């Protein structure tokens, strides 16, 4: 079973519990997945980086977050097809994506 470590704390396994945020790298916004514990701090760091670089900060929309998570879990499932935790996480995200926005 493959483990995907949180890139921020390098401790938590986020294979089946990832939280999408963003990083500012060389002026480019890149999506990144962190663990539950790191999420708020990572989002705050991104916001501060945006302000420092004159980029307007906007929170990630819920559907954009869900799409990123769907792609993330699909990739994890391709890496570890037998990992039931990932199947459950992906099914939950697809169920939430299927609910039309009000
Ligand atoms: Zn973390």
Closest CA to 29 of 69, 70, 58, 71: 58
37: Cβ contacts below 8 Å, ≥ 6 apart: 6, 9, 12
Ligand 1 center from residue 79 Cα (angstroms): 21
Q: What is the pLDDT of residues 5-44, one digit of tens each?
A: 999 999 999 999 999 999 999 889 999 999 999 999 999 9
Mean pLDDT taken over the chain? 94
Ligand 1 center from residue 96 Cα (angstroms): 24
Supply the pTM of this predicted model. Answer: 0.90
Ligand 1 center from residue 69 Cα (angstroms): 16
- pLDDT-derived band at 59 (thresholds 50, 70, 90) equals very high
- Region label for 40, one of left (φ > 0), alpha (ψ between -120 and 50) or beta (otherwise): alpha
Look at residue 102 and tell me whether its pLDDT is greater than 80.
no
Per-residue model confidence (pLDDT) at position 101 = 67
Ligand 1 center from residue 102 Cα (angstroms): 32
Ligand 1 center from residue 11 Cα (angstroms): 6
Report the chain's terminal Cα–Cα distance, integer Å: 38
In this predicted model, which residue has the larger pLDDT, 2 or 71? 71
| C-alpha–C-alpha distance, residues 100 and 91, integer Å | 16
Question: Dihedral (C-alpha) 78, 64, 61, 55: value to the nearest 10 degrees?
Answer: 100
Ligand 1 center from residue 5 Cα (angstroms): 8
């Amino acid at each position: 079973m493959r483990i995907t470590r949180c890139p921020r704390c390098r401790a938590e396994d986020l294979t089946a519990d990832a939280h999408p945020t963003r990083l500012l790298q060389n002026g480019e916004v890149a999506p990144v997945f962190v663990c539950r514990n790191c999420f708020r701090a990572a989002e705050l760091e991104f916001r501060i980086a945006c302000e420092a670089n004159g980029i307007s900060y906007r929170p990630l929309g819920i559907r954009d977050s869900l799409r990123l998570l769907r792609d993330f879990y699909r990739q994890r499932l391709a890496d570890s097809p037998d990992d039931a935790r990932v199947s459950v996480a992906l099914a939950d995200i697809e169920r939430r994506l299927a609910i039309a926005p009000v």
